[in-house]
Structure 1
Amino acid sequence: MKQPTTLPFCKRIAMLLCLVLLSVFPTFAEEVLKPSSPPIDTLIQKAPNTAFLQIKKTLKEAIEKEDFLTAGLCYQQIAALFYFQAAYTQAINYYYKADKLFRQENALPQLAGNLNKIGETYYYARQYRIALEKFQEALKLYQQLGNQKGIADSHGLIGQTYEKTLDYTTAMKYQQLALAGYHKEKNQRGIAKIYENIGSIYEDKPHLDSALKYYTLAMAGNAIEKNLHGQIEIINNIGDVYRKTGRYPEALNYTRKAESMAKSMNDQYQLSSAYRDLSKTFDLMKRYDSAYHYSELGRDIFLKIFTEDNNKQLALLQTLFEIQQKDDAIAQFEQEKSADRILLIATILIIVLLLCLAASVISRQRLKIRNEQQLNEQNQRLFETQNDAIKDALELKSKELTSTTLHTIQSNQFLEELRSSIESLVKDDKRDQKKALQQLIQRINQNINQDQHWKDFSRMFEQIHQTFFDHLKTHCDNLTANDIRLVALIKMNLSSKDMAVLFGISQDSLRVARYRLRKKLNLPQGENLSTFIQTL
């Protein structure tokens, strides 16, 4: 551990008094320890810095007592803290620390639950293959334990993962297994969740009538359980189904209901989702003023959520820094006490042996070496802090890139619709309007896919994925600018519709571009282009 510079004597005495006073207070480890304790769960999501302080204290006490099961649960809570901040790399690191201790203690129920949490973290990080492996490992443990709820949980998570890989048949198989398990356990909340998952599969296929049926069943189940957050999400999904089937009044009715519930519960994420859905529905109804209004409301909430998340992350980083400073001070105090004792013994020996001068030289040399070690360790810590800051900056750039891309898509969609309307007017017999309208169409075409948008996009993308294009060039070094843009958009997991809008081309033309890109990359028959790009 890094050794800070020496403190004045009075400060050392004050620190000693503080430590003595702290030692007389009773521990609250038992309160923090409970994994499902509502206060800690709430703090993890709402006040991560406060939660971290409590969990770290419990973790320290558990390690001192060699209570490794408790320590594992604390690591799991710290992982959850990073998980809710979308810091998936740090979350996985702490989940694996918990995994090691649970295996060491042969705590199979805790190990199985932790494996599902690791899988969920990989799932939201879009690493579906690893997520699937963890879910399946957890399933085997739950089957070994005979834990029916755990088995149903794992089946549902495996089904969700297969849905993301577009393997709908396997996804439906596992969701049906989960549904049977929850029915056997009479777990109404679990049943409602699986109904929602099945509805999502049907919506993707798309079998919208079946999707509506299962969403309705999920809605009823959540109503029985009084699960308001679950109801909002499903109401939004039902609104989506009605919109996709062209039943816009019903879609507006459900989405407005979701909007109202989200406002009453102060659920900013669901409110943002409702505003986006309202914007899409009004857009399809050609009520562009309303579509723009709700699009802006959704964007404002997105920025608000983004700012709040940043503030939470900064508060957490500040807490981590302060705790590190405190640990360094305690370590320094302990070292100085030991050094004082050594100095006293050395002084006595010097007086007895009349070797004061020799001892003084040796002492100074030791102090010089110690200071050099401290300087080296301080430089190492500075390097690590800078490295962490770079990672945080990349995460912020990633969110900025997503926001920029969404804004570009919305702008291009609006211009495409405006161009279609003007082209209809051009086909009219009023010859005196055609020239002016054609000039206007030409101006719109010039504004679609502005080079500056692509320059900004390319700059942010290269900052986030620094080695991506280097790896790409090892497969093919004769890609055009449009090929590289297409690869970047596929890397971001944009839909074909959104990519077509960004390029200002039809989806058929986009399929041709993807086919040509496959040829240039020499991909074998059967290998998925998107999967290949994600692995670069």
Structure 2
Amino acid sequence: MIIKLQWPLFFFLIVFVRASFGQDETIRPYLKAWEKSGRDQSYASQVFFDSLRLKKDPASRKKYWRDINKLRHYIDQHPDRRLQVRLMMFEIMAAREHGMQERYYPEVEKAIKLAYPLHDEQLNAELYSIRADVPPGDETYLLYNLKAVEIQEKIGTKYFPFTHNRFFGISAGLYSQKDYTRAIHYGKRFLAHWDKDPLHRDERVFIFQYDLLGSSYLQLEQCDSARRYYHLILERIKSEPDARHKKLWEGIAQGNIAKTYIHEKQYGKASPLLQNYLNTSIACSDTLNIAMAQNAYAAFYYGQNNRRAALAAAQEAWNLSRIKNLNPQMINALKWMTTIYQDTRQYDSAFYCLNLQNKYRDVEREQLKKSEFSTLQAQIDFDKLQNSLVLAEASVRQERNFRRVLIAGVVLLAIIIALLYNRKRIKNINRLSELRLQHEAAELKISDAREKIALFTNHIIEKNNLIKSLQIDLKNIQSSSAASIEKLLNEPLFTDEGWEKFRVEFSRAYPYFFLKLQENSDNITPAMERLAALIFLKLDNYQIANSLGIGKASVARGKRRLRAVLHLPEQDKLESFITALGEK
């Protein structure tokens, strides 16, 4: 019967152990990749991010969240800061792919703070890249992309996936702030990194970057350079499988090429391109590009002195952009309308449009100021979070010199602090040694004093024993000798000089005794001190009487007076109280 009961239990244990090992196997690839701290750590972790993008079916989604729960449990059992940060990053990416990113926005900041003590710049660069994208915001988008790129270039961009996307993010952020020269600079760096990570390229991002470059050059009135990038879009878009997307971008590229010709007053070249831009924008129901095309037509017609057609195009652009609240296009349309009304001496309408134009320009300026302030605030917040962000626009040489001086100063300060600390430590050690020697000397004095007190006590006891013996013999000797012996017996063992010597030795042996005695009453007399000291030495009334040269009755009265002065309750023993005074 016992064997039958044991077999099921044994079988259950085997199954449980096998199941436990099976759980470990499912999360082992994550742990192996996430434990890395070298240059290969970013690509090792990217494998799991890629799987999130590639496998979005319900079964895969459930598996990822099961794995996440197992990993949480594992890290709870085996705490590890690096693993915890990596798991948080994976959760954030999973939430973003599965449409739950808003729930995980706060986790990005937590992950950055958690990772900081690891002092792993490569890991920080990955976190900044994630932070740049969530939550969406122009100020944090630009700042964290810049910080991520700074670290990636320092370590080596070849160790990071999606580096080209970081440059795209910076270029787009700078373009939105109308910093077209720097937008071009970072856009070209995007192109330089495009071929370095072929596994993580998105052709549409490439097209967007060409558009940013072309538009930036157009804003700077560098028409040849602008045309070059829009022609590159036309070449690149040929392989686009999405017909609508392909058609729209062909129109956008042709429309911007047309704008360069309009600027150069080559209206014949601009006309067919501009017409195609408007037609494709209308076909794709893209309001923004329709409004932009109409504004381009306003410039096209105005340049040829066709003010009626220019006004009609500007009014159409104004109506469309007003509906969708497209502020830049509204301003552009109002600019043309103001100019045309002034030319045609319709001053009321010109004044009205100018006021509207100024109103929307003020809104635009306010938004730009707000964006600049938000960027500054984001930088301040980042400095508070990391104490390490440097976005200065000084030269590389100045930056390096500053860092060298800073490092030298820190090292020098550290050396000074170490020397001061060491000096203080040595002084403390010497002080402790001195105190130890003083303590040992004090202990030696106390021990010596207590030995003397013990000898004195034994001496008193011996004298008392001798007195007792003499008193017995006194009864048997002649009366002539009896008077002398009795006089001797009545002499006190304590003289004033002897008491002072005794008091000094007693105070050394028991330094707190007389102090505590005085603390308990302000009316302690020298006689009471003598009595208390002899009580402490555990002498009986007879021995105390002989020591002080008084009668036993006087000793009893002295004890009562001492008890009264100390205000002892009736239930407390005087001897116990006195004995306690000698304790530390």
Whether these two folds match at TM > 0.5 is no
Q: Which has the higher contact order (CA 8 A, sep 6+)?
A: 1
Question: Which structure has the bigger radius of gyration?
Answer: 2
Shorter-chain TM-score tier:
0.3 to 0.5
TM-score by length of 1: 0.44
